[in-house]
Chains A and B, each alone.
Chain A
Amino acid sequence: MSLKYTEDHEWIQLEGDIAVVGITHHAQDALGDVVFVDLPEVGTSLAQRDIAGVVESVKAAADVYMPVSGEVTEVNEELRSDPSLANADPLGKGWFFKVKLSAPAEVDALLDETAYTQFTAG
């Protein structure tokens, strides 16, 4: 399935009932060089829009929200040791964490690529 987006500039990609989560190209561009990420603990259950982590550049810090409710099943340890992956490959190697969905219907309300592009242009 294609990517879905939030107005908080996260993306998710579904792999079965697991969603991979990261920050968008637009978000990493606005932040600039990412130097630090704080990732949630595996096993934590969080509701949609809870703060799941933090991403920081030299100039700014931003919270990363849960795009959907669920349990964190995996975090990207490679990103933790090399935060610049969030800039270099935000939709690929720069993923943040994976979530086992507890309310799959939430996904339907997220933005598709066209809607997100319009959102960031506005």
Chain B
Amino acid sequence: MAQAMAFQCPWSFFVTADTSLLTTPLHALHLELGARMVPFAGYSMPVQYPAGLMAEHHHTRQSAGLFDVSHMGQLRLAGLDAAAAFETLMPVDVVDLGVGKQRYGLLLNDAGCILDDLMFVNRDVMNGGDIFVVVNGACKVADTAHIHARIGSRCQVMTLPEQALLALQGPLAVTALSRLVPGVEKLVFMTGGAFEWQGAALFITRSGYTGEDGFEISVHAAHAEALARGLLNQPEVQAIGLGARNSLRLEAGLCLYGQDIDTTTTPVEAGLNWALQKSRRSAGVRAGGFPGAERVLGQLDGTASLERKRVGLIALERVPVREHVMLHNAQGERVGEVTSGLLGPTANQPIAMAYVQTKYATTGTLLNAMVRGKAVPMCVSAMPFVPTRYFRGPA
């Protein structure tokens, strides 16, 4: 089986002593916890711990999971022109984002396709603060170069390689984290603030990549392991690997950059219209003015063609349908391709994301996924596949 594994698996299976890989500040802790380490985004990262992917997935949905996401890129943009400058790179409202608020953003190339997706927070950029940006690990070098090249003359662009990033996700994340860091419970979904733990400065947002309530914590590398141990000492918390991170995010309907979105997909094809605020759309107060605006806004308005759309799919048989599987219509014509797929541990059925020709993107459409030459019927379905449980404020 070994050859097939290496070929089909998104992560290589067997640990190799690859000295060219970077490590995160939690590397020694991962090894101590018995993690299976794999190369990911140029880093040696834990794909799973001894509990295993399935148990880790369920633990996160039921309690609280700690993820090391220190491979991701953290940046600061500072200066009075930073927000306006950053807006020229994305179809997103940066200028009017309130202080302490977090938003999802998309860096676009001049064809209107996605260079990366990211999260950013206004840390009072108009009063000497900054815009705090978290980008994908595999894209961080290119993103930084792109941002420097395009807006480096308008604002300061600073990378934060000394910062680790931990995510604590799950319904009991707030219980565990507020025990160590009182006050975090006051944050609501997509907001952030500065906190302190045992003398270490933390910047914490209430957000994540699992569909659950939870937090992402930026902390200096020197304090990261102590904080991680402090969190793991809480009865609610277990360490969770990248394997469960992937199944959790797919159930939540969240895109994985490089798989579900990339430099061949526009935000409208990707169904990320919700990320394009009204102010940047046609007839908005700051309409356009981002790379590829004509194409993206045309697709949004219906004046430019929209050949394909990202959809969710649920298989009607219990056969996992993975990335690169082709989708056929009833006539046997190829009409799409799966970009992410697995048996959702909580959904308890095979789920997938795919791009399909626009006329097949309507919820309820039946398509055939061609798995090893056999047709597996799938139904175009709304996402998320598992209801999200973000904390938007006291009930």
Interface residues of A (CB under 8 A from B): 7-10, 23, 27, 30-33, 35-36, 38, 54-65
Residues of B contacting A27 in the complex (Cβ-Cβ under 8 angstroms): 1
Report which residue of B3, B10, B57, B246 has the largest number of chain A beta carbons within 10 angstroms of its beta carbon. B3
Q: How far, in angstroms, from A11 to B93 measured CA to CA in the complex? A: 59
Residues of A contacting B2 in the complex (Cβ-Cβ under 8 angstroms): 7-9
* Number of interchain pairs (Cβ within 8 Å): 74
Q: How far, in angstroms, from A32 to B343 measured CA to CA in the complex? A: 13
Out of B13, B14, B320, name the residue touching A35 (CB < 8 Å). B320
Out of B1, B8, B54, name the residue touching A58 (CB < 8 Å). B54
B residues 103-118 with Cβ under 8 Å of A? none
Determine whether B205 belongs to the interface, using a CB cutoff of 8 Å to chain A: no
Establish whether residues B1 and A33, one from each chain, have CB atoms under 8 Å apart when the complex forms: no
Residues of A contacting B10 in the complex (Cβ-Cβ under 8 angstroms): 59-60
Out of B1, B13, B54, B372, name the residue touching A55 (CB < 8 Å). B1
Q: Which 6 A-B pairs have the closest CB atoms?
A: A63-B4, A60-B9, A33-B54, A62-B1, A35-B343, A59-B243
Given known contacts A7-B2, A59-B247, A63-B1, what 18 new A-B pairs fall within 8 Å (CB)?
Answer: A8-B1, A8-B2, A23-B1, A27-B1, A30-B14, A31-B5, A35-B54, A35-B320, A36-B319, A55-B1, A58-B54, A58-B57, A58-B342, A59-B53, A61-B322, A62-B4, A62-B8, A64-B1
Establish whether residues A10 and B1, one from each chain, have CB atoms under 8 Å apart when the complex forms: yes
CB distance from B190 to the nearest CB of A (A): 28
Establish whether residues B48 and A32, one from each chain, have CB atoms under 8 Å apart when the complex forms: yes
What are 25 sample pairs from A and B whose C-beta atoms fall under 8 A apart? A7-B2, A8-B3, A27-B1, A30-B14, A31-B13, A32-B52, A33-B53, A33-B54, A35-B320, A36-B319, A36-B343, A56-B343, A57-B53, A58-B247, A58-B343, A59-B10, A59-B11, A59-B243, A60-B5, A60-B10, A60-B13, A61-B4, A61-B322, A62-B4, A62-B5
Q: How far, in angstroms, from A24 to B328 measured CA to CA in the complex? A: 36
Determine whether B318 belongs to the interface, using a CB cutoff of 8 Å to chain A: yes
Residues of B contacting A65 in the complex (Cβ-Cβ under 8 angstroms): 1
Chain B 309-338 against A: per-residue CB contact (8 Å), 1 yes, 0 no?
Answer: 000000000111010000000000000000
Q: How far, in angstroms, from A54 to B10 measured CA to CA in the complex? A: 17
Determine whether B45 belongs to the interface, using a CB cutoff of 8 Å to chain A: no
Residues of A contacting B320 in the complex (Cβ-Cβ under 8 angstroms): 35-36, 56, 61
Establish whether residues A30 and B247, one from each chain, have CB atoms under 8 Å apart when the complex forms: no
Residues of A contacting B54 in the complex (Cβ-Cβ under 8 angstroms): 32-33, 35, 58
CB distance from A30 to the nearest CB of B (A): 5
CB distance from B142 to the nearest CB of A (A): 27
B residues 11-40 with Cβ under 8 Å of A? 11, 13-14
Residues of B contacting A63 in the complex (Cβ-Cβ under 8 angstroms): 1, 4
Q: How far, in angstroms, from A57 to B8 measured CA to CA in the complex? A: 12
Determine whether B345 belongs to the interface, using a CB cutoff of 8 Å to chain A: yes
Q: How far, in angstroms, from A55 to B52 measured CA to CA in the complex? A: 17
Q: How far, in angstroms, from A8 to B5 measured CA to CA in the complex? A: 10
Residues of A contacting B3 in the complex (Cβ-Cβ under 8 angstroms): 8
Q: How far, in angstroms, from A53 to B10 measured CA to CA in the complex? A: 20
Chain B 338-376 against A: per-residue CB contact (8 Å), 1 yes, 0 no?
Answer: 000011010000000000000000000000000010000
User: A64's closest neighbor in chain B, by CB?
Assistant: B1
Residues of B contacting A32 in the complex (Cβ-Cβ under 8 angstroms): 48, 52-54, 243
B residues 221-279 with Cβ under 8 Å of A? 243, 246-247
Establish whether residues B319 and A58, one from each chain, have CB atoms under 8 Å apart when the complex forms: no
Residues of B contacting A10 in the complex (Cβ-Cβ under 8 angstroms): 1
Determine whether B219 belongs to the interface, using a CB cutoff of 8 Å to chain A: no
B residues 47-65 with Cβ under 8 Å of A? 47-48, 52-54, 57
Residues of A contacting B243 in the complex (Cβ-Cβ under 8 angstroms): 32, 58-59
